[in-house]
Chains A and B, each alone.
Chain A
Amino acid sequence: MLLTPLLQNSYWQVTLSTGRRLSEMDVVSSPLQGSERPADWTLDLVTTGDILKVKELCLIYPGWFTRPAILKITEPGTAFQFKTASAMAFGANGRQLEAQVIGRITNKETGACECYIWDRHLGLIGYQSNVRTFGSWDPGRIAPIGELSQNVIGLRL
């Protein structure tokens, strides 16, 4: 059980088969640039190949006495994560993070997947879809996401 009332948004955390943990809240070093930056899904998991070592994927989200959403990853290259945002102009201005999605492939042949989503309106929900035609968990407010780029999110189907 977590106390996360001060969180503004959700974030992901992974546990690797090596025992190492990495979260979106961590700061990592960029030795070549001599700087530090927040951990990044693509740069620190997909590009490094560590995405294939993910054995547990968690979603931590705002609220009182929350329980992290956890997905056990038994097959390498089947974990993914992304966020959805809306940029608004003309009649009103703004940019808002609508939701964060963590998921795992349940059928590598078809692309079927199961997910946890933290949505700023709906809170934490479970959702089943397909990474080749990812749908909308809140039709009307969220457009169907469409095909996810497997290279970018690190899938090996």
Chain B
Amino acid sequence: MSDATTVSVAYNKGTDASPDFTGTEIALLGTSGANEFRWCASGAGGVSTSSANWPGYPRPGSTGAVPECWAFSTNTSGIKVATYDGTNAKANVFRWHLTSELTAVSAPQMSFFADTSLSTPVAGTQPSSPSTDGSGIVNGHSTDTSSHSYLKINAYGQGITSGGVQQTPSAGSVGTNPTATTQNAAGAVTPGSAAWLATWQDAQGWTDYILGGATWQALTAVLWYFSMILFSGPNLCLGTNIGPVGVLQYNFT
């Protein structure tokens, strides 16, 4: 089997102009608050706040972006994702990292789901409150988001091209700043080579998602840069753990 030994998500702890991803790989495992990404209001987060005590985000009177995202390697050891600010202003925010054992056979796909069952989102349908999964966010609401997902995503180019060239973004803005109702197009959208999507995509399972532009070169480490903005709104369900699950689907020999 030629799968990657390790797949992880890294975040930027530096600046957009001088990104620093060293030591920020969040492994795709862990329980009880370890290896978590958490969102909060400006100034509400803390480096040693446990998952159980993480502050809730008040449901706003009108739609708007959640302004902070934090990464926790253990339940009480976290750091703010320095370049996530709920806007499109910065390019170096997150990246998928797949180690070099992978032999890909097609382009990858990326989106968000309610939970690990990867069931198809039901556009515009909010679950009963309190919710215990990410269905409220990925389903969206007719008034708040035009039934698109509350979570918007963008990706830079192909990651690694089929010829083995790593595509890494320069600092600066990412497409057009999305609003809560933004959708690029129904179905799959694909960034151009070494380019961001001009219009962000809403992440609604495999209903609305990003499709990579190339089959990654075999046996080559992959860094696929992406960004996201989480919106909230007056009609989003309440709940204590409604963060949706980010999924990278990839195909290999």
Contacts and interface: CB of A to CB of B under 8 A. Distances in A.
Interface stretch (B12-20, B55-63, B191-199, B205-213): B205-213
B1 A83 contact: yes
A56 interface: no
A13 interface: no
Given A142-B249, A143-B249, A90 B243 contact: yes
B52 interface: no
Contact of B244 (A24, A87, A91, A140): A91
A98 B250 CA distance: 10
A143 B243 contact: no
B172 interface: no
B253 A90 contact: no
Contacts of B248: 86-89
Nearest to B211: A146
B206 A149 contact: no
Contacts of A92: 115-116, 245
B85 interface: no
A150 to B, nearest CB: 9
Contacts of B243: 90-91
B247 A86 contact: yes
Given A42-B218, A93-B27, A146 B106 contact: yes
B162 interface: yes
B21 interface: no
Nearest to B107: A146
B171 interface: no
Contacts of A145: 106, 251
B109 A143 contact: yes
Interface string A124-153: 000000000010100111111111110011
B246 A140 contact: no
Interface in B60-114: 96, 98, 103-107, 109, 111-112
Contacts of B209: 143
Interface string B208-251: 01010001001000000000000000000000010111111111
Nearest to B98: A87
A38 interface: yes
A144 B252 CA distance: 14
Contacts of A78: none
B26 A82 contact: no
Contacts of B112: 90-91
B251 A90 contact: no
Contacts of A83: 1, 3, 251-253
Contacts of A24: 1
Interface stretch (B28-36, B42-50, B142-150, B176-184): B28-36
B249 A86 contact: yes
A19 interface: no
Interface in A1-54: 24, 38, 40-43
A78 to B, nearest CB: 16
Contacts of A136: 206
A84 interface: yes
B205 A93 contact: no
B74 to A, nearest CB: 13
Interface string A63-102: 0000000000000000001111111111111111110000
B26 A42 contact: no
A77 to B, nearest CB: 16
Interface of A: 24, 38, 40-43, 81-98, 134, 136, 139-149, 152-153
For the complex of A and B, the 8 pairs showing the least CB-CB separation, nearest first, are A140-B120, A91-B243, A91-B245, A90-B246, A143-B109, A41-B253, A143-B206, A87-B7
